[in-house]
Amino acid sequence: MNSKFQSSFTLLEILVYIGVFSIVMGVLISFIIWVTHSNIKAQAIRETSDNAREVLETMVYEIKTAKSVYIPTSTSTQLSLETLNYLPEGESFTYIDFFLCGTQICFKKESQIPVALTSDKVEIKDLNFTLIGNVTSTPSVQIALKADYKNPQNRPEYQASVNVTTTASLRSY
Residue 163 amino acid letter? N
Among candidate residues 60, 66, 72, 69, the one with its CA nearest the CA of residue 84: 66
- DSSP class per residue in 148-169: EE--TT--GGG--EEEEEEEEE
User: What pLDDT is stored for residue 113 in this prediction?
Assistant: 94
Write out pLDDT tens, residues 51-109.
Answer: 999 999 999 999 999 988 888 888 889 999 999 888 877 788 889 999 999 999 999 99
Question: How many Cβ atoms are within 10 Å of 41's Cβ, its own excluded?
Answer: 17
The overall pTM is greater than 0.75 = yes
Q: Which residue has the higher pLDDT, 162 or 88?
A: 162
Q: Confidence band (pLDDT; 50, 70, 90) for 136?
A: low
Among candidate residues 160, 170, 123, 168, the one with its CA nearest the CA of residue 145: 123
DSSP secondary-structure letter at 7?
S
Mean per-residue pLDDT over the chain, rounded: 89
Cα distance between the two ends of the chain = 102
Write out pLDDT tens, residues 102-130.
Answer: 999 999 998 889 999 999 999 999 999 99
Task: Sketch the domain layout of the chain as residue ranges.
Answer: 10-169
- pLDDT mean over 31-47: 92
Say whether pLDDT at 151 is over 90. Answer: no
Tally the C-alpha atoms within 13 A of residue 86's C-alpha that lie toward its C-beta.
Answer: 17
